[in-house]
């Protein structure tokens, strides 16, 4: 089995509630319940090569809807980590760049600074002004902050312990 966080894909009885609630399922090549089914069948390699594990938004909608309490979001996280470690190429390079940028920004202070994260992402993909017209609108509505959020107290110390 592919799952590291004590999730048992064999508990899934394919009700597909996870897939019907997924906000990004239209972008996936396999639905979340199909990924879990592959794992239950021992077909981890096919799951690792799926676009789905990279498209997962990490919103936990699937995990909340699962009647058997399978933490599908964590399964997707684990699969992304395994795919990266195995050198499996991400079928969506821009999604991988966004994911890496998000993690890098989060690691700075335990919170994401959306303006910096999106600016760095846009630079990495070579489109520095992509979505620039949204900035002023979001700023006026209080949804975008120019200054980064305060760091979570003790976050860097916690991260050092985690990575020892």
On whether the CB atoms of residues 120 and 98 are closer than 8 A, the answer is no
Residue 4 to residue 145: CA distance in whole angstroms = 36
CA atoms within 13 A on the CB side of 19: 18
Angle at 58 between CA 54 and CA 63, to 5 degrees: 115
Per-residue pLDDT for the chain (164 aa), expressed as one digit of tens each?
A: 445 557 899 999 999 999 999 999 999 999 999 999 999 999 999 999 999 999 998 889 999 999 999 999 999 999 999 998 999 988 888 888 888 888 888 888 788 888 888 888 889 889 999 888 988 888 898 888 888 888 777 777 777 776 66
pLDDT tens digits, one per residue of 58-106: 889 999 999 999 999 999 999 999 998 999 988 888 888 888 888 888 8
pTM of the model: 0.70
């Amino acid at each position: 089995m592919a799952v590291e966080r004590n999730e048992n894909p064999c508990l899934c009885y394919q009700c597909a509630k996870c897939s019907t609630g997924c906000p990004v399922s239209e972008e996936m090549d396999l639905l979340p319940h199909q990924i879990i089914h592959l794992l239950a069948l021992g077909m981890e390699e096919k799951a690792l090569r799926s676009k789905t594990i990279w498209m997962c938004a990490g919103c936990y909608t699937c995990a909340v809807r699962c009647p058997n309490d399978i933490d599908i979001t964590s399964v997707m996280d684990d699969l992304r980590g395994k795919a990266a470690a195995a050198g499996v190429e991400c079928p969506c390079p821009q999604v991988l760049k966004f994911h890496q940028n998000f993690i890098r920004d989060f690691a700075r202070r335990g919170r994401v600074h959306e303006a910096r994260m999106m600016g760095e992402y846009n630079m990495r993909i070579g489109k520095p002004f992509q979505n620039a017209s949204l900035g002023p609108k979001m700023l006026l509505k209080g949804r975008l902050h120019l200054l980064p959020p305060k760091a979570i107290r003790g976050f860097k110390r916690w991260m050092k312990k985690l990575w020892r």
